[in-house]
Amino acid sequence: MKGNFHQLISGPTPVLVDFYATWCGPCKSQLPIIKEVAKELKGKVKIIKIDIDKNQQLVHKYKVKSVPTLTLFHYGKVIWQAAGMRTKNQILNIIKEKT
């Protein structure tokens, strides 16, 4: 995943990464919100989910301490990151503000 992940986040299209775990209750609650954001911003933002238990290198590299953690990348750089639940409007506003 490491090389492929770097390619995904390096382009001109912003990428929102949802670091999650299958055992995480709040992550399951965040999922429908992420899907709504993906639908609303289709073609403007890529959204990918990263299972922290299967991608420890990325967890360490991006200092993910808890889940869910949302990280927004643009041209391969982290432009925003936050742990915890976010509403659809919070996510949309952050993406509009940061990109």
pLDDT digits (tens, 9 = 90+) for 29-67: 999 999 999 999 999 999 999 999 999 999 999 999 999
* 57 among known catalytic residues: no
Position 7 in a domain: no
Q: Which domain holds residue 66?
A: 15-98
Check: CB of residue 73 under 8 Å from CB of residue 14. Answer: yes
Q: Considering the candidates 9, 17, 21, 27, report the single residue annotated as catalytic.
A: 27
What is the count of structural domains for the chain?
A: 1
CB 11 within 8 A of CB 67: no
The H or E element that residue 78 is part of is strand 77-83
Catalytic residue among 8, 10, 13, 24: 24
This model's pTM is above 0.85: yes
Say which CATH number the domain at 68 has: 3.40.30.10
Q: Alpha helix (H) ranges present in the chain?
A: 2-9, 25-40, 56-61, 88-98
> Among this protein's residues, is 55 annotated catalytic?
no
Q: Is residue 21 part of a domain?
A: yes
Q: Which of 3-7, 16-20, 93-97 has the lowest mean pLDDT?
A: 3-7
For 58-91, how does the pLDDT look when each residue is reduced to its tens digit (9 = 90+)? 999 999 999 999 999 999 999 999 999 999 999 9
